Amino acid sequence: MRYIPNSDIDRKQMLAGIGVTSIDELFSGIPEKLRLRRFLDLPKPLTEPELVDYFQTRAAKNSVGETAFIGAGIYRHYIPIIIDALISRSEFYTAYTPYQAEIAQGTLQAIFEFQTYIAQLTGMEVANASLYDGATGVAEAILMAQRISKKHKFLIAKTVHPEYRAVVDTYARNLGIQIELIDYAADGRVDMEKLEQQSSADVAAVIVQSPNFFGAIEHTHDISELVHRRGGLSIVNVCEAISLGILKPPGQDPSEQRTADIVVGEGQSFGVAPSFGGPHVGFLATRERYVRQMPGRLVGMARDYAGKSGFVLTLSTREQHIRREKATSNICTNQSLCALMATIYLATVGPKALREIAEHNILKTDYAANEITKRTRHRVMFPAPRFNEFVVEVSGECPYGLPLSRFYPELGNAALVCVTETARRKDIDAMVQRLAA
């Protein structure tokens, strides 16, 4: 086998060195009766040329060429080529978790930079080294808020990504957590009146998403203020990270009352491929005072004993390998390489192009929604300002976007349409034309 260096000759020498005559003897610890007495029933081994053929054939069976205008948490943004060139270096992608700081400074510094970028973008004080994805990120944020508040009731907007809410349900179910939904208003945003009504003193935290699942931009600062007034924590989920390039971040406001306590989200939009759903990269940012309640790894600045400065994994007493069942989370392996992609993405686009990209998303989405309104008989729902998605009510099946009936049966035949900067006007026009037909 080409991935196994030792040949028969090597093996014989090693067996002799050990003082046994066959490899089988080394398995003496496994009781005979538990041994498999046949070969596994697997496809016959393929050579490299055959593997290439196998996977190219399967890849060709996914039709990804044509824009489908689907977003819903996974966005097709342009990915600068240098990202793949850099993360393809063995130094990055084949290294382990940087527990041995002296020979992992590259990874450590990059994660520190990721943490800083996320803090800057969300307007928060600190961010962690990544979580599995946005969905588990929201779940972790809820567990974190439970630890901080010692309260167990959570209000979650119905316009938070339905799969995220499903994951929250799975995580929360056995931890005495009670979840209540907040409905959306006619404009597609959180219904502030209902929120006000539901925000009782026993509410640990309120979770909203902005831009929300319908693409609408929430008034997260007003929400944070309201929640804080009621003694709860404010958790904001950002599924479409590009929006942070132009929208006022949940963590930024002159008044601490109006800022979120935890901003959690999905960083896939920052240079990570859709890849049929993963791997992507969750992030979680918070206030400095909650650091010791954070889930996941953290990299901090450090010095060696001679005073030279560098980086190291720190505050690991929160983590499972030290605290075991008392850890803030069970997470171990995280999404480091995707965090690196996001870091390189942010370094490459910088604040200006990030804002321009965000603008193009807004303008193209606005254009698409207006064109559909103007030129088709379909209704674009929810008037609230949008980032790069909107809901359109169609008659019959919509050949674009995500049908919403599975998640929001009350919306009937609606579809969630996403328009990013990668959609060319001619693609949008073609969609409008087809919808008009």
Partner 1 sequence: MTGSARTSNHFSLNEPVIFEEGSPGRRGFDLPELDVPARALNDIIEPGLIRDGITGMPELSEVDVVRHFIRLSTWNYHIDLGLYPLGSCTMKYNPKINERMARLEGFALAHPYLPSERIQGALEIQKTLETCLAEISGMDAVTLQPAAGAHGELTGILMIRAYHESRGNPRKKILIPDSAHGTNPASAAISGYIVETVPSNKRGTVDLDRLAELVNKDVAAIMITNPNTLGVFESDIAKVAELLHSQGALVYMDGANLNAMMGITRPGDFGVDVLHINLHKTFTTPHGGGGPGSGPVAVKEILEPYLPYPVIGQNSQSDYFFDNDRPQSIGKIKAYNGHFGMHVRALCYILANGAEGLKEVSEIAVLNANYIREKLKKAYALAYESPTLHEVVFSDRLQARKDVHVWDIGKRLIDYGFHPPTVSFPLIVPGAIMIEPTETESKQELDSFIDAMLTIAKEAEENPEIVKTAPHTTRIGRIDEAAAARRPVLRWRPD
- Return the residues of window 167-196 that contact partner 1 according to CB under 8 A: 167, 169-171, 173-175
Residue 185 exposed, middle or buried by CB count within 10 Å (0-12, 13-18, 19+)? middle
Quote the least distance from Cβ 390 to partner 1, whole Å. 12
- Residue 322 interacts with ligand PLP (CB under 6 A)? no
Residue entry with tokens 């954070």:
294
- Residue 116 interacts with partner 1 (CB under 8 A)? yes
Measured from the CB atom, is 31 or 49 closer to a copy of itself? 49
Among positions 15, 80, 101, 430, the unique one binding a copy of itself when judged by CB under 8 A: 80
Encoded one letter per residue, x for contact with a copy of itself by CB under 8 A and - for no contact, window 366-395 reads: ------------------------------
What are phi and psi for residue 60, nearest 5 degrees? -70, -20
Measured from the CB atom, is 197 or 370 closer to partner 1? 370
Among positions 18, 64, 175, 332, the unique one binding ligand PLP when judged by CB under 6 A: 332
CA 1 to chain centre: 37
Q: Would you say 346 and 117 are in contact if contact means Cβ atoms under 8 Å apart?
A: yes
Among positions 179, 181, 246, 411, the unique one binding partner 1 when judged by CB under 8 A: 246
Residues from 2 through 61 that contact a copy of itself (CB under 8 A): 48-49, 52
Quote the least distance from Cβ 100 to partner 1, whole Å. 6
Joined together, the tokens standing for residue 159 give 């316009």
The answer to whether the peptide bond before residue 279 is cis (omega within 30 degrees of 0) is yes
Joined together, the tokens standing for residue 120 give 């800057």
Measured from the CB atom, is 36 or 60 closer to a copy of itself? 60
Query: What's at 365, amino acid-wise?
Result: T
3-state SS assignment for residue 17: helix
- 213: closest CA among 182, 248, 245? 182
Encoded one letter per residue, x for contact with a copy of itself by CB under 8 A and - for no contact, window 161-180 reads: --------------------
Quote the least distance from Cβ 88 to a copy of itself, whole Å. 7
Q: Give dist(CA 266, CA 137) in Å, integer.
A: 8
Measured from the CB atom, is 15 or 231 closer to partner 1? 15
- 386: closest CA among 200, 185, 247? 247
What are phi and psi for residue 386, nearest 5 degrees? -120, 160
Q: Which residues in 79-106 are b (16+ Cβ under 10 Å) and which e?
A: bbeebeebbeeeebeebeebeebeebee
Residues from 283 through 302 that contact partner 1 (CB under 8 A): 291, 297-302
Measured from the CB atom, is 78 or 99 closer to a copy of itself? 78
Residues from 409 through 428 that contact a copy of itself (CB under 8 A): 422
**Neighbouring residues of 28: CB distance < 8 A, sequence distance ≥ 6:** none
Q: How many C-beta atoms lie closer than 10 Å to residue 290's C-beta?
A: 18
- Residue 77 interacts with partner 1 (CB under 8 A)? no
Residues from 201 through 220 that contact partner 1 (CB under 8 A): 217, 219
Quote the least distance from Cβ 201 to partner 1, whole Å. 25
Q: Stretches 8-16, 36-44, 78-86, 402-410: which one binds a copy of itself (CB under 8 A)?
A: 78-86
Among positions 18, 26, 64, 85, the unique one binding a copy of itself when judged by CB under 8 A: 85
Residue 348 exposed, middle or buried by CB count within 10 Å (0-12, 13-18, 19+)? middle
Q: Stretches 124-132, 151-159, 195-203, 229-237: which one binds partner 1 (CB under 8 A)?
A: 124-132
Partner from ligand PLP, a copy of itself, partner 1, none contacting 246, C-beta within 5 to 8 A by type: partner 1
**Which contiguous run of DSSP H or E holds residue 389?**
strand 389-393
Among positions 240, 261, 319, 389, the unique one binding partner 1 when judged by CB under 8 A: 319
Residues from 263 through 282 that contact partner 1 (CB under 8 A): 273-279, 281
Rounded alpha-carbon distances, angstroms, from residue 136 to 214, 329, 397: 20, 11, 31
Q: Would you say 98 and 112 are in contact if contact means Cβ atoms under 8 Å apart?
A: no
Sign of CA dihedral 19, 25, 26, 30: negative
Q: Stretches 96-104, 151-159, 183-191, 257-265: which one binds partner 1 (CB under 8 A)?
A: 96-104
Partner from a copy of itself, partner 1, ligand PLP, none contacting 342, C-beta within 5 to 8 A by type: none
Residues from 378 through 407 that contact partner 1 (CB under 8 A): 385-386, 402, 406
Q: List interacting residues with ligand PLP (CB under 6 A).
A: 332-333
Please report, as ranges, the residues that interact with a copy of itself according to CB under 8 A.
48-49, 52, 78, 80-81, 85, 88-89, 422
